Amino acid sequence: MFFETINIALRGLSANKLRTFLSMLGIIIGVGAVITIVSIGTGSQQQIISQISNLGSNLININRGFTRGWGGRVSSDANVSFTLEMRDYIQESSPAIKNIIANAQGQGLFIQGENNIRANLVGTEGVYQDINIYQPQEGRFINSRDIEDRANVIVLGAELAQELFEDDNSIGRTVRFNQSNSTFIFTIIGIMEDRERGMMGDFNNQAYIPITTYLDRIANSNEVDGFIAQTYSSNQATEAVNQINYFFEMYAGDSSSVRITSQDQILDTMNDINRSLSLMLGGIAAISLVVGGIGIMNIMLVSVTERTREIGIRKALGAKKKDILVQFLIESLALSGIGGILGVGVGYGGAYLISKIGDWPFIISPPAVIIAFSFSLVIGMFFGIYPAVKAAKLEPVEALSYE
Amino acid sequence: MLEVNELRKVYNSGLIEVEALKGVSFRIDDGEMVAIMGPSGSGKSTMMHLLGCLDHPTSGSYLLDGKDVSGFDDNGLAEIRNKKIGFVFQQFNLLAKTSILHNVEVPLIYAGVGRKKRRKIATDVLTKVGLGHRLDHHPNEISGGQKQRVAVARALVNNPSLILADEPTGNLDSKTGDEIMELFHQLNDQGHTIVLVTHSDEIADHADRTIRLLDGELVKG
């Protein structure tokens, strides 16, 4: 009996294919949009995660916080001075820290022959390459000897080297760096490998010199910008953050002027942003599903009116209210169900296409597919109830005499 | 056997009350072929709806096979229509978008008969009315007389106690009309009880006897 009713309902739908398709369109688009958007969300999230882990995992950034001042004066509580030696104290403060480097940087003009390029100069230490999993393609990186000697050596990012020297071998040659009307000359000791632009800056377009050289010659100060610490494993990051916080509490009496962020926290923030964006877009897509449902209700109401006589005949032949109700419910369920299946197809296609355009992994989340599809069925059910009840309630005599 | 007693039907459309049947009583025995006649407005259609269990009477009783169905609810009436009554309409009232075979199967579907058995019964009945070779045709592919034969087959398929025909030849030319009446005679000879609702004397002449209605009342004599 039940299968017969399904059969009757499907016959009803196939009798008017174009209209059936058009009334499904809302559901198709809605389901497709939900799946595509969730896929974009997860795909771009994967991309962000891989970018962040590309930087080297389990990193903790220690920077000066935003200074709280007023009237053009910097608040005194922002006055924690970051010295080079402090990195050793921080390291001692937490056993979870494997490596730590001091970091200072500034913009300036790199000059080589006719070429001059504005780029970032980073004062750093040898373990920078371990922390960032970043190796030179030619020559070598800064070592502890360079730090001790405050050597005038420089390592260039891949693109910067390319821009300055084109294809010439530049190791052993010099490059000039101009900042605030002073010019410094460095000997090139290495060229770094090609590295994608990440969260922590544009590796390819900067150059590296020993931190001591940077402080002495360029910054003329004994204060660094901040520190980058690396923990032994990523699940120690939170512990280390707390310990570093404690260190600043003890050392400076206040840790609020120091900003300590782990990769995890950055990742969490990015994920939060991503999630709320996905939710918002998913919500919009869900609205289009509801609109699709209204389209189905509309077509079902037309169908009930058109088929009043058929309903009368069926009732005369012994159909009960329940039979008619189920017949029309199944029709609207079939409409939304088939629409949902087509929508899943559209969603896969759309997600694939956009993942190619956005250059992130093509990921379809099964729960999204299941939820979107079930939601389309729920909508078909919900918006099918009213027309079906209307059909079931028709009086046989009136339905039979309907022209 | 069917028997109506003081059957009344009042239509209530807003302020106006129309008494379509004013207490009608009669009895039709098994195997009879009876015509119910009357001009339009006589209550003939109302009587047909009540006899066909398509509508509830306002008062009075209606015994069909010894059971008073006047108090049945919608579901009860649907079951009676399905099992005990076969309709033949002037407009044929076939389902246009399905085959003849499926049309005849519909009452069996609602009776819960399985697919195979259904197909067999419907095929047999269609063969009996002379359409065994047209099973897969759609109603718009056959003539009016054939359509009415399909309708008769559909009316017969659940082996009802009563075949109720409402102006069965009204949309047919006289020759095919005669053929349909001939079919009714055959069915009557096989023991089916047939009630013809008509305004035509010619059709009524085919019946064993005639029940005449006028202004919602039985005409004596």
Which of A13, A317, A324, A400 would best serve as a mutation to test chain B binding (most B beta carbons within 10 A)? A317
The domain boundary, picked from A221, A256, A291, lies at A256
Q: Of B82, B90, B166, which to mutate for an interface test with A (greatest number of A Cβ within 10 Å)?
A: B82
Residue of B78, B97, B158 lying closest to A315 (CB–CB): B78
Select the residue of A11, A309, A318 nearest B110 (Cβ to Cβ).
A318
What token pair was written down for B90?
Answer: 């002037």
Asked if the Cβ–Cβ distance from A317 to B110 is below 8 Å, we say yes
How far apart, in whole angstroms, are the C-alpha atoms of residue A188 and residue A42?
A: 42
User: Taking CB atoms and an 8 Å cut-off, how many pairs form between chains A and B?
Assistant: 62
Residue A334 lies in a domain: yes
Of the candidates B83, B87, B97, the beta carbon closest to that of A316 is on B87
How many domains is chain A built from? 2
Within 8 A by CB and 6+ apart from B8, the residues are B19, B21, B22, B23, B24, B57, B58, B59, B60
Quick check: A318 and B49 CB within 8 A?
A: no
Q: What is the pLDDT along chain A (403 residues), one digit of tens a residue?
A: 667 777 777 777 787 788 888 888 989 998 999 899 888 888 888 887 777 666 656 788 888 876 554 555 444 445 678 888 888 888 888 888 988 999 899 999 999 888 889 999 999 999 888 888 888 998 999 998 999 999 999 999 988 988 888 877 788 889 999 988 889 999 999 999 988 765 566 888 999 999 999 999 988 888 898 898 888 877 788 888 888 888 888 887 766 778 888 877 777 787 788 888 888 888 888 888 888 888 888 888 988 998 899 999 999 999 999 999 998 998 888 889 999 999 999 999 999 999 998 888 888 888 889 988 998 899 889 999 999 999 999 999 989 888 7
Question: Which of chain B's residues have a Cβ under 8 Å away from the Cβ of A12?
Answer: 97
Minimal C-alpha gap between A376 and chain B (Å): 28
B117 phi/psi in degrees, rounded to 5: -60, -40
Strand locations in A30-156, DSSP E? 59-64, 97-112, 115-124, 136-139, 153-156
Q: Which fold has domain B2-218?
A: Rossmann fold (3.40.50)
| Shared-domain flag, residues A121 and A166 | yes
Give the span between the Cα atoms of A33 and A99, in whole angstroms. Answer: 46
CB contact under 8 A, A314 and B110: yes
Residue numbers in B near A314 (CB within 8 A): 106, 110
Same domain, A86 and A235: yes
Q: Are residues A21 and A114 in the same domain?
A: no
Structure tokens at A251: 């050392």
Neighbours of A227 (CB within 10 A): 23
**pLDDT at res. A292:** 86
Angstrom distance (rounded) from CA B81 to CA A103: 91
Residue A263 within any structural domain of the chain: no
Domain boundary among the residues A256, A288, A313 is at: A256
CA distance B221 to chain A (A): 31
Q: Which of A200, A223, A256 is the last residue of a domain?
A: A256
A318–B97: do the CB atoms touch at under 8 Å? no
Domain membership of residue A158 as a residue range: 80-256
**Angstroms from B92 CA to nearest CA on chain A:** 10
The answer on A154 and A15 residing in a single domain is no
Tell if the CB–CB gap between A314 and B111 is shorter than 8 Å.
Answer: no
Which candidate from B75, B78, B95 shows the least CB-CB separation from A310? B95
Q: Do A31 and A107 lie in a common domain? A: no
**Pairing relationship of beta strands A174-179 and B16-28 according to DSSP bridges:** unpaired
Distance from CA of B107 to the nearest CA of A (A): 5
User: How far, in Å, CA of A19 to CA of A28, rounded?
Assistant: 14
**Does A310 lie in the same domain as A252?**
no
Q: Vertex A194, ends A193 and A196: CA angle to 5°?
A: 135
CB contact under 8 A, B93 and A309: yes
Q: Which residues of B touch A306 (CB under 8 A)?
A: none
Burial class (CB in 10 A: 0-12, 13-18, 19+), B71: exposed
pLDDT of residue A308: 93
Residue B221, pLDDT score: 54
A252 plus A151 within the same structural domain: yes
pLDDT of residue B35: 94
**Taking CB atoms and an 8 Å limit, are B93 and A316 in contact across chains?**
yes
**Which residue of chain B has the CA closest to A318?**
B82
Task: Select from A310, A316, A321 the Cβ nearest to the Cβ of B54.
Answer: A316
Q: Which of A263, A236, A306, A219 is nearest to A131 (CA)?
A: A263
> Which residue in chain A has the smallest CA separation from B99?
A11
pLDDT string in tens for chain B (221-residue length): 899 999 999 998 888 888 999 999 999 999 999 999 998 889 999 999 999 999 999 999 999 998 899 889 999 999 999 999 999 999 999 998 889 999 999 999 999 999 899 999 999 999 999 999 989 999 999 999 999 999 999 999 999 989 999 999 988 898 999 999 999 999 999 999 999 999 888 888 999 999 999 999 998 65
Cross-chain Cβ contact A318/B89 below 8 Å: no
Q: Are residues A101 and A233 in the same domain?
A: yes
CA distance A261 to A229: 10
Domain contains A65: no
| A321-358 and A263-306 helices, crossing angle to 10° | 140
Which residues is A259 bridged to in the sheet?
A: A63
Residue type for A353, please? L
